[in-house]
Amino acid sequence: MYLPAAFRQDDLTQLHAQIRQAPLAILTSVGSQGLQASHLPLLLEAGEGEFGTLYGHFARANPHWRDLSSGAEALVVFPGPDAYVSPSWYPAKAEHGKVVPTWNYISVHAWGQAEIFDEPERLLQLVSRLSAHHEADRPQPWSVEDAPRDYLDSMLRAIVGFALPIRRLEGKWKLSQNRSAADQAGVREGLGASAKVRDHELAARMAEAND
């Protein structure tokens, strides 16, 4: 990832928080199948390893996991909020006009090699934790135990799990840090006035970064 110093995020707590806020990660690798990408919900165990360990699963029919089982390195992308930045939001536009559009965004990249597993009880523990995580804020959460065990067993045979210790972790918070304070304020105001919810989220993240 191209990472100018102004946009680099090195705080592990912030990086882990962003990983947890990304409900669907993009796992990529290169192997015998060529370049592949899979969209996967992942769990982070922050205390396992230097940068944490990621857990998830593939459909067994997805050939992507076979490259990982052969030792291919994986790059996992956790996208955050993003928004188009109009040059009309910069006070500098009125001063000299030397401004152009850009895009602000937050993203975390994690690298590592995965351990593939398919033991039924370990898979059951993984899908139980994933379900509990995503059902936690529902008034009547669904639980893995709500499904018949013979049905669960058939579903577990259709997936393979993985643990991916993170060996390298990078974060990019591109939030107009390379602009003047006035231009940054103009971007926050412009995003805050947008009709897009995602723009409001990025404006809030810009405000947090300047606190």
Q: Residue 24 phi/psi, 5° resolution?
A: -135, 115
Predicted local confidence at residue 92, as pLDDT? 85
Outline where the chain has alpha helix (H).
12-21, 64-69, 91-95, 120-135, 149-156, 181-192, 197-209
On the CB side of 102, CA atoms within 13 Å amount to 15
To the nearest whole percent, how much of the chain has pLDDT over 90? 92
95 has a pLDDT exceeding 90: no
Q: How confident is the model at residue 28 (pLDDT cuts 50, 70, 90)?
A: very high
In the block, residue with structure tokens 């898979």: 123
pTM of the model: 0.93
- DSSP type of residue 195: S
Reading the block at residue 84, the tokens are 């188009």
On the CB side of 171, CA atoms within 13 Å amount to 16
Q: How confident is the model at residue 94 (pLDDT cuts 50, 70, 90)?
A: confident
Predicted local confidence at residue 72, as pLDDT? 93
Question: Roughly what angle, to the nearest 10 degrees, separates helices 120-135 and 149-156?
Answer: 100
- What's the average model confidence in pLDDT over 82-106? 93
Please name which of 197, 194, 195, 189 lies closest in space to residue 207, comparing C-alpha atoms: 189
Task: Kindly list the distances between the CA atom of residue 46 and the CA atoms of 8, 76, 185, in Å, as whole numbers in the listed order.
Answer: 20, 15, 34
Predicted local confidence at residue 161, as pLDDT? 98
d(CA 32, CA 156): 26
Reading the block at residue 33, the tokens are 């199948």
33 has a pLDDT exceeding 90: no
211 has a pLDDT exceeding 80: no
- What's the average model confidence in pLDDT over 6-31? 96
Could you give the strand order of the β-sheet that contains 159-165, starting from the edge strand earlier in sequence? 43-45, 53-59, 159-165, 115-117
- DSSP type of residue 122: H
Predicted local confidence at residue 182, as pLDDT? 95
111 has a pLDDT exceeding 80: yes
d(CA 60, CA 153): 14
